């Protein structure tokens, strides 16, 4: 009986997970090297697990691609006055498949696109005023039109949901 219940639970979990393949054919197509190319602005919110906004930010992006390698510079201005920067190096390793690195990313970020969506997973060294700790991000990006991209990034700490980041990118 325990085995049957366990299998049913696993089937339920897999039915709830979203696959990037489910976005194939959705338009407009999201090509990172096209959308993230040049200068743009984004606005975002950090929310805790109770969906309360804990921080807001504006980020200026400057991006370029050469030979399937992109450099994405993000300059953050936080609502509390803090300023931070992250510089991503993103490599297109195959059609719809990407890898990325940045100084605060542990290992390699893995990404995959299909249709108008992009799924990005990575582990980040998240720094606070008093300490730092590693969290896992599950990003889902959706191209709404040629100029607007919406990103929801769920944050997990030791497998426990801790909150999310919502970002609206505008070209």
Q: Which phi and psi angles does 122 have, rounded to 5°?
A: -165, 165
Quick: pLDDT tens for 81-117: 999 999 999 999 999 999 999 999 999 999 999 999 9
Model confidence at 143, pLDDT cuts 50, 70, 90, reads very high
The domains of the chain, with CATH numbers, are: 32-170 (2.40.128.20)
Over residues 4-24, mean pLDDT: 60
**pLDDT tens-digit series, residues 41-51:** 999 999 999 99
- CA 152 from centre of chain: 7
pLDDT for residue 155 is more than 50: yes
CB 149 within 8 A of CB 143: yes
- Which residues neighbour 60 within 8 Å (Cβ) at sequence distance 6 or greater? 39, 40, 41, 74, 75, 77
pLDDT (0 to 100) of residue 17:
58
Please choose, from the candidates 91, 89, 87, the residue with its C-alpha nearest in 3D space to the C-alpha of residue 67. 91
Tokens representing residue 96 in the block = 């719809």
**What six digits make up the tokens of 133?**
């700790």
Using the predicted structure, report yes or no on whether residue 165 has a pLDDT greater than 50: yes
């Amino acid at each position: 009986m325990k085995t049957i219940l366990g299998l049913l639970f696993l089937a339920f979990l897999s039915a709830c997970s979203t696959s990037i393949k489910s976005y194939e054919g959705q338009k407009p197509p999201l090509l990172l090297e096209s959308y993230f190319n040049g200068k743009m602005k984004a606005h975002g919110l950090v929310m805790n697990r109770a969906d309360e906004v804990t921080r807001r930010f504006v980020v200026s992006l400057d991006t370029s691609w050469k030979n399937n390698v992109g450099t994405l510079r993000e300059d953050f201005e936080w609502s509390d006055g803090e300023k931070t920067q992250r510089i991503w190096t993103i490599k297109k390793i195959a059609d719809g498949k990407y890898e990325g690195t940045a100084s605060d990313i542990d290992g390699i970020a893995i990404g995959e696109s299909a249709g108008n969506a992009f799924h990005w997973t990575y582990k980040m060294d998240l720094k606070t005023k008093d300490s730092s700790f590693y969290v896992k991000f599950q990003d889902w990006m959706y191209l709404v039109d040629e100029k607007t991209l919406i990103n929801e990034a769920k944050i997990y700490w030791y497998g426990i949901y801790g909150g999310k980041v919502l970002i609206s990118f505008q070209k």
